[in-house]
Chains A and B, each alone.
Chain A
């Protein structure tokens, strides 16, 4: 195994004998939002010191790529998205293995447990919280060989604030179960890959048929491992796909010899005396033997690190920010999967945990932290997955159905022979959602129509056609789209 690209800075070099580090800009989080912010700070402020903290042991890597690594489609040294030179060229100090457990907004201090170096206090002028999300653990009972019952979340609650955990008197990792994993970090993917190799796994179960579950499914199928997907609702990918798109993927999975079980969940997990998973019991009562289980029921903003700064949360879910990505504390900014950001389609703040928005938000936050002035224009949900060779892109309110009261109309084009499906959701004569399955060419044109709030009254008849293109767009929008960039209309 080749080493990861890394500019890991030895803690002993940078923090030697002092437990207090001063920095102009402190960024918690070393992924899409955090590094976009660091880059845009550096564009404005060439001098100020930038420190990036991550609770992981790796230098940057792209979270969406971990399942590509698991599938064997990428080597471990290819999962990074910024070259190691990024930190050096931009003079950014990266500190790995730093578990933040408190933020003191009054003193402008962040406390972190750095493992070997002990507790370190970072003093900042401007702080960005961009530490992302953490996987949710559903209420499931774990029954050991002696019949003793524990809660799964007590056994594998990840990334929780160590202080809060102490208060609640919970012992983390007191008993690790072999064969149960979440799959949101590179370490998770490395552990799963090792476990598969060591235990010669040929079948796996995935609890949760959402995007993370399906990304895991994609990787296992690529490895020739048969899967059981267990989904609580009536169909997989119910949040972002409609019934036809869900059916296309479900059939594809079933056709490959794997199973999709809907309207179901796991109530009990059974482990042996060595804490190996042996099986689980479904809500129906049925017991299923199992040696590898992935928990993929969702990801929630990782706000457990806030400590004394928890007042900046304001709402359920993620941290609340204004259009400058600033929290209620003027010196604390937040971006990425940990926030509730402006959703252009509902006109409300929502947690939309996707890569492109995290980059955009991080970049805006960085500009404002460094004294620039830039507004975040908002965004909307979108995602692209490919399962067993069928690419699917879903954008905006993609699962919406016709609804006269809300003036929602859908335009569909389904070729069941070729498994090609396109559905465009229109509300008040404007595109608000799209699904493209099988053939995803030019999907971004719809995202553009949503972003730019374009009235499509005159082109409705063509909107879901396979050859829909720029040429059909209203002349005004075409001109707007390309002014200065060279289309003459």
Chain B
């Protein structure tokens, strides 16, 4: 499957990935409207970590043996056998946070603003390229086939 690959050496911590992720997952999908009117509900599913000049952006790795899928008590977190995408059905999710407890990357967030549900990267499945990758100015994020699969 195609995955988002992280190139830490090119990341300058500009956080454009976070901004585009928030807009993509907002109601209006419009950047000004999203940031001015929906700000309280906004949550990025990609996370920039930064210490000094070191930084990188990380989001769900869509693990083959995803611990979050095993841990899910409501059947909301599933891995699509065809696409390989690990997705959280936010309608089914009850907010028990078992997935947060087991994700070794720490990339699932607790959303209690818009709804009570786990919030994570869905690989922008309706886009050709995930928006965080498409809007990275430095190719610090790349979307390509995983050589190891």
Contact = CB atoms under 8 A, between A and B. Distances in A.
Interface of A: 36, 62, 64-65, 68, 73-74, 78, 80-83, 355-356, 359-360, 363, 382-384, 386, 391, 393, 395, 440-445, 447-448, 451-452, 469-472, 481-489
B24 interface: no
A81 B104 contact: no
Contacts of B106: 441-445, 469-470
A470 B58 CA distance: 9
9 contacts: A356-B67, A383-B101, A441-B106, A445-B105, A469-B47, A471-B50, A483-B148, A486-B4, A487-B58
Contacts of B50: 471
Interface string B35-78: 00000000000010111001110100101000100111111000
B79 interface: no
A440 B100 CA distance: 8
Given A78-B92, A471-B54, A481-B104, 15 more contacts: A80-B75, A82-B75, A382-B101, A382-B102, A386-B95, A440-B100, A444-B99, A444-B105, A444-B108, A445-B106, A447-B102, A470-B105, A470-B106, A485-B63, A487-B6
Nearest to B61: A485
Given A74-B94, A471-B54, A484 B146 contact: yes
Given A471-B56, A485-B3, A443 B101 contact: yes
A382 B104 CA distance: 14
Interface in B79-135: 92, 94-106, 108-110
A366 to B, nearest CB: 13
B7 interface: yes
A391 B58 contact: no
B32 to A, nearest CB: 28
Given A356-B67, A470-B49, A81 B73 contact: yes
Contacts of A78: 74, 92
Max chain B CB contacts within 10 Å: which of A74, A391, A471? Answer: A471
A356 B58 contact: no
Given A62-B74, A443-B101, A391 B56 contact: no
A62 B110 contact: no
Give the dominant DSSP class at A's interface: mixed
B109 A441 contact: yes
Contacts of B97: 384, 386, 391, 393, 440
Contact of B73 (A65, A73, A83): A65
A68 B95 CA distance: 10
B73 A355 contact: yes
A318 B93 CA distance: 31
A485 to B, nearest CB: 4
Given A62-B74, A65-B73, A356 B102 contact: yes
Given A447-B102, A447-B104, A391 B110 contact: yes
Chain B, interface residues (CB within 8 Å), range: 35 or more
B148 A471 contact: no
Nearest to A359: B70
Contacts of B49: 469-471
B59 to A, nearest CB: 10
B25 interface: no
Nearest to A355: B73
A80 B4 CA distance: 33
A486 B146 contact: yes
A472 B55 CA distance: 11
Most chain A CB within a 10 A radius of its CB, from B74, B95, B109: B74
B28 interface: no
Contacts of B73: 62, 64-65, 81, 355
A486 B110 contact: no
Given A62-B73, A391-B110, A488-B6, A73 B94 contact: yes
Contacts of A484: 146-149
B70 to A, nearest CB: 4
Contact of A448 (B3, B6, B51, B104): B104
A77 to B, nearest CB: 12
Contacts of B98: 355-356, 384
Most A Cβ at <10 Å: residue of B47, B55, B75:
B75
A383 B101 CA distance: 8
A486 B148 CA distance: 10
A487 B8 contact: yes
A393 B104 CA distance: 14
A175 to B, nearest CB: 35
Q: Which 10 A-B pairs have the closest CB atoms?
A: A448-B104, A442-B106, A486-B5, A484-B148, A81-B75, A444-B103, A356-B71, A471-B49, A64-B73, A359-B70
A74 B71 CA distance: 19
A471 B57 CA distance: 10
A482 to B, nearest CB: 7
B110 A441 contact: yes
A25 to B, nearest CB: 21
Contacts of A485: 3, 61, 63, 146
Nearest to A363: B70
A382 B73 CA distance: 14
B9 interface: yes
Interface string B2-23: 0111111100000000000000
A444 to B, nearest CB: 4
